Amino acid sequence: MTSSPSTSAPPPLRIGIAGLGTVGAGVVRLLRENAGLIRARAGRELVVTAVSARDRTRDRGIDLSGVAWCDTPEDLATHPDVDVVAELIGGAEGPARLTVSRALENHRPVVTANKALIAIHGAELACTAQQAGVPLMFEAAVAGGIPAIKTVREGLAADRILKIGGILNGTCNYILSVMHETGRDFAEILADAQKLGYAEADPSTDVDGVDTAHKLAILAGLAFGRPVVFASLYIEGIRRIGALDLQFARKMGYRIKLLGIARQHENGIEARVHPCLVPQDASLAQVNGVFNAVVAEGAFVGRLMLEGRGAGEGPTATAVCADLIDIARGSAIPVWGCDADSLTQAVALPAREFTGEYYLRLNVCDRPGVIADITAVLRDNGVSLRSMLQHADAHEIRPDGTQAVPLVLLTHKTNEAAMQHALHHIAELEAVLDEPALIRIDAG
């Protein structure tokens, strides 16, 4: 008679969490509330054994008795009861970068939600992770609960991706959505968003397009197998979008969205963040409020779009825990989808090489000959005019008696350098009263 082999359960995966803000506390809560489900899917228990945060006395609504506290987050990298480090501090430098680097150097897998860190230092960290033979996972760094990283890096691994991007910042999408619905101005809606917790006290990272750019850099690196040098991206935010632009957009059948767009060309990678006019019947135009949408286009798979909440405790904690489950199962997918040894960093194409259609709004003197002067400048710079619209209701008499009227021009496809040159000369015309507003049109 022979005895059956031992089937003892594998040891738990011991997790050290750096940062106990909204996301960090959410990860602890999710791991505990869904412990049975996670154990079944991971093949072992996932337990938080150590944490590090600035304030030990703060009530986070979670029981941390029996959990070790580290004085500094980088101490988690060498803690004897930690198998994997979850970095949820944020920021591209300082404690976050040091914690991740030390953990990888000490052969500890890392899970992070830190988009800035991966966008700026991802190529370097990929080499460190490969040399240490451990995974670096960052599903939560892009679009919160949307499985964007897994979709691009794993689901589309066999296809050649032609284009990637989308609506990647919930704060900006909320502001533009409410501006569209109410006709109110940017500053007023931003103040409301801050009161509701949709915007930070200092909203510059969001509204100036930097957050979107971090996420776009990551998506582009995964899509094209080459981390993009972050400093080379073209970045433009939404501060200059006025209520009048939303009104004109609606009249012409468009919505205005802040988009991240990346394409691979023969001469390099096009990667840019800026407001776009999106046709009202396009799927992206229907993504409103704090929702995000990631769009990818593959040579074989065609176009696909993933939509969901891009931030917050629940979506982000879910993405962090998905990475922890992968690590518990022994996943070892390279950071950028291919060996770090084969990676070269790509510089994004300069803005002057972009091509597309444009929306141009001008406030001009209401007098004969003005339109002829403007169209002559466009003609002389090789910019072809597609249509024109005036807003008679917005006619204004200024304190000096000047009669001003807003004028919107839509162009055919042209070169960015030509458009900017024309814009410079239009702004110098005596009849043009304010700084022109230029928005690009997304052709899909």
Whichever domain contains 432, its CATH number is 3.30.70.260
Q: pLDDT (tens digit, 9 = 90+) per residue, 41-71?
A: 999 999 999 999 988 888 888 989 889 999 9
The Cα–Cα gap between 429 and 436 comes to: 11
**One domain, residues 124 and 162:** no
* Residue 164 β-bridge partners: 262, 296
How far, in Å, CA of 274 to CA of 98, rounded? 32
Q: Are residues 130 and 169 located together in one domain of the fold?
A: no
129 and 46 part of one domain: yes
Does residue 422 have a known ligand-binding role? no
In a domain, 285, yes or no: yes
Q: Rounded mean pLDDT of 148-162?
A: 94
Q: For residue 293, tell me if it sits in a domain.
A: yes
Q: Which of 139, 172, 188 is the last residue of a domain?
A: 139
Instruction: Determine contact, residues 26/313, Cβ cutoff 8 Å.
Output: yes
CB within 8 Å of 34: residues ≥ 6 apart:
321
Question: Is residue 195 within 8 Å of residue 314, measured between CB atoms?
Answer: no
Is pLDDT above 70 for 3? no
Q: Domain check: are 379 and 235 in the same one?
A: no
Domain count along the chain: 3
Is 35 within any annotated ligand binding site?
no
How many other C-beta atoms lie within 10 A of the C-beta of residue 157? 11
Q: Is 133 annotated as a binding residue?
A: no
The phi and psi torsions of 159 (rounded to 5 degrees) equal -105, 160
Of 245, 168, 272, the C-alpha closest to 439 is: 245
The gap from C-alpha 252 to its chain's centroid, in whole angstroms, comes to: 27
Pair type for strands 403-411 and 396-397: antiparallel
Amino acid at 206: D
User: CA 263 to CA 336: how far, in whole Å?
Assistant: 17
The answer to whether 81 touches 13, Cβ cutoff 8 Å, is: no
Counting residues of the chain whose pLDDT is more than 90, the rounded percentage is 75
Contact status, residue 346 vs residue 269, Cβ threshold 8 Å: yes
Residue 238 backbone zone (phi > 0: left; psi -120 to 50: alpha; other: beta): alpha
Terminal Cα distance for the chain, rounded? 70
Name the 3-class secondary structure at 319.
Answer: helix
Query: Residue 84's pLDDT is what?
Result: 97
Q: Is the pLDDT of residue 206 over 80?
A: yes
As a whole number of angstroms, the distance between CA 261 and CA 151 comes to: 17
115 is in an annotated binding site: yes
* Together in a domain, 271 and 200: yes
Shared domain for 159 and 129, answered yes or no, is no
322 within a domain of the structure (yes/no): no
In terms of domains, do 295 and 359 share one? no
Q: Please report, for the domain that includes residue 47, its CATH number.
A: 3.40.50.720
Chain segment 214-272, per-residue pLDDT in tens:
999 999 999 998 888 999 999 999 999 999 999 999 999 999 999 999 998 888 899 99
188 is in an annotated binding site: no
The reply to whether 163 sits in an annotated binding site is no
Reported confidence tier of residue 409, pLDDT bands at 50, 70, 90: very high
- The domain in which residue 207 lies consists of 154-308
Q: Is residue 329 part of a domain?
A: no
Decide the pairing of beta strands 291-298 and 355-365: unpaired
Other beta carbons within 10 Å of 103: 32
Query: For the segment 82-108, what is each residue's pLDDT rounded down to a tens digit?
Result: 999 999 999 999 999 999 999 999 999
Taking CB atoms within 8 Å and a gap of at least 24, the contacts of 34-37 are 34/321
Say whether pLDDT at 344 is over 80.
Answer: no
Tell me: is residue 313 an annotated ligand-binding position: no
Tell me the CB-side half-sphere exposure of residue 210, using CA atoms within 13 A. Answer: 12
**CATH number for position 177:** 3.30.360.10
Check pLDDT > 80 for residue 291: yes
- Asked if 176 contacts 189 with a C-beta cutoff of 8 angstroms, the reply is no
* 318 in a labelled binding site: no
According to DSSP, the residues that pair with 108 across neighbouring strands are none
Contact 185, 193 (CB under 8 A): no
DSSP 233: S
227, HSE (Cβ side, Cα atoms, 13 Å): 26
Residues 215 and 356 occupy one common structural domain: no
Q: Which residue has the tokens 């991802």?
A: 122
Q: Is residue 169 part of a domain?
A: yes
Tell me, yes or no, whether 15 and 128 share the same domain: yes
Region 301-320: what's the mean pLDDT? 92
- Distance, in Å, from the CA atom of 169 to the CA atom of 306, rounded to the nearest integer, reads 14
Does residue 124 sit in the same domain as residue 267? Answer: no
Was 21 annotated as part of a binding site?
Answer: yes
Q: Are residues 46 and 130 in the same domain?
A: yes
Catalytic residues: 215
Q: What is the largest CA-CA distance in the chain?
A: 107
Residue 4, in any domain of the structure = no
Do the Cβ atoms of 359 and 438 come closer than 8 Å? yes
Residue 384, number of CB atoms within 10 A of its CB: 11
- Please state, in angstroms and rounded to a whole number, the distance separating the CA atoms of residues 244 and 201: 26
pTM: 0.92
**pLDDT class of 404 with cuts at 50, 70, 90:** confident
From 281, 308, 335, give the residue that closes a domain: 308
Bridge partner list, 358:
440
Tell me: do 131 and 178 sit in the same domain: no
